[in-house]
A and B are shown apart, each in its own frame.
Chain A
């Protein structure tokens, strides 16, 4: 099996502000979640009659 395209096996970069200390990877995950949530709410949903979404 091939190795990963991006090798993440190096110590993480971090963001440090006062006592807040988070790795960039975790910050990316959280930011992407917030963005996806906002996008899900704001982007118009396809019109009626077409295949729709569920719960």
Chain B
């Protein structure tokens, strides 16, 4: 079809000079409201909604002390997910990129988190009346970086074979860990008593609405991930579109999660920015369908419209056309 013909045809669709029939738009909206209300109330009565209660640092440290302490040790030496994340939390990596486009790096560190200070040392420094602990922290901070990482690396290796004692603490085989076991033991006790949840939250002011720190700390360990895998919420389980229990989830995210399941996305360090780029392009294409040759012509070529308007095509054309 030539451009002129296309434009001419398109102009002819601007107005409808044919038959009308009576129609009550407000009554139709009222009936629709009633129908959907009945559907929604029906679904509510049949299925309700899910509400799995939140994990806390307390429940995490009581339920899996070894995982808690291992995670805390990686926070201390900066090898945790958050510690090595990069922007927007710190400069310890460049963040994801596509080619030369480093959006995370360009937007910078807007929520600074020093994993050692914020998750371990500062909360412990706030504890009074514990001279042994304070001495251990001072010893750790005074040591050279190489010594510090020697202690934490050895400790993390030992934690792989750690045992949980009767009182909920963590026991490892003797080794050269410096003050790290003392620090970790105190942090574990603090967490199991419930104090660390609060300490991580109210670190800037009294009123809090920002849960970034406790959430990142938990996400660095296994407490959230283990629950997620059990509920099919993990990324590799197409979890983005799922909900806890057997409820339908955000089904409209199916295409977004699909890309993560296939190469090159499934094996890329830059998976997130790659998927966002693909979905950004597809979203733009969706919005601009009227202008995309080929895509905009499919409805004409695959004539589902003939089913939709079959009554119209059956009726004779107006005589005075």
- Seen from chain A, the residues whose Cβ lies within 8 Å of a Cβ on chain B are 2-6, 8-14, 19-26, 28-30, 41-42, 45, 48-49, 51-54
Contacts and interface: CB of A to CB of B under 8 A. Distances in A.
B28 A6 contact: no
Nearest to B237: A21
B245 A22 contact: no
Nearest to A25: B248
B262 interface: yes
Given A4-B47, A8-B50, A51-B27, A25 B247 contact: yes
Given A51-B24, A51-B27, A5 B245 contact: no
28 contacts: A2-B45, A5-B46, A6-B46, A8-B48, A8-B247, A9-B50, A9-B246, A10-B245, A12-B232, A12-B246, A19-B261, A19-B262, A21-B232, A21-B261, A23-B232, A23-B249, A25-B243, A25-B247, A26-B241, A26-B248, A26-B251, A30-B251, A30-B254, A49-B21, A51-B27, A51-B28, A52-B21, A52-B23
Interface string B295-310: 0000000001001100
A5 B261 CA distance: 35
Interface string B250-264: 010010000001100
B287 interface: no
B21 A48 contact: yes
A6 to B, nearest CB: 6
Which interface class (under 10, 10 to 19, 20 to 34, 35 or more) fits B?
35 or more
Interface in B216-244: 230-232, 237-238, 241-244
Interface string B5-38: 0000000000000000111110111000000000
Given A29-B251, A41-B307, A11 B230 contact: yes
Nearest to A5: B46
Contacts of A22: 238, 241, 254
Contacts of A5: 45-47
A30 B52 CA distance: 25
Interface in B44-103: 45-48, 50, 52
Contacts of A30: 251, 254
Contacts of B230: 11
Nearest to B241: A26
A45 B247 CA distance: 33
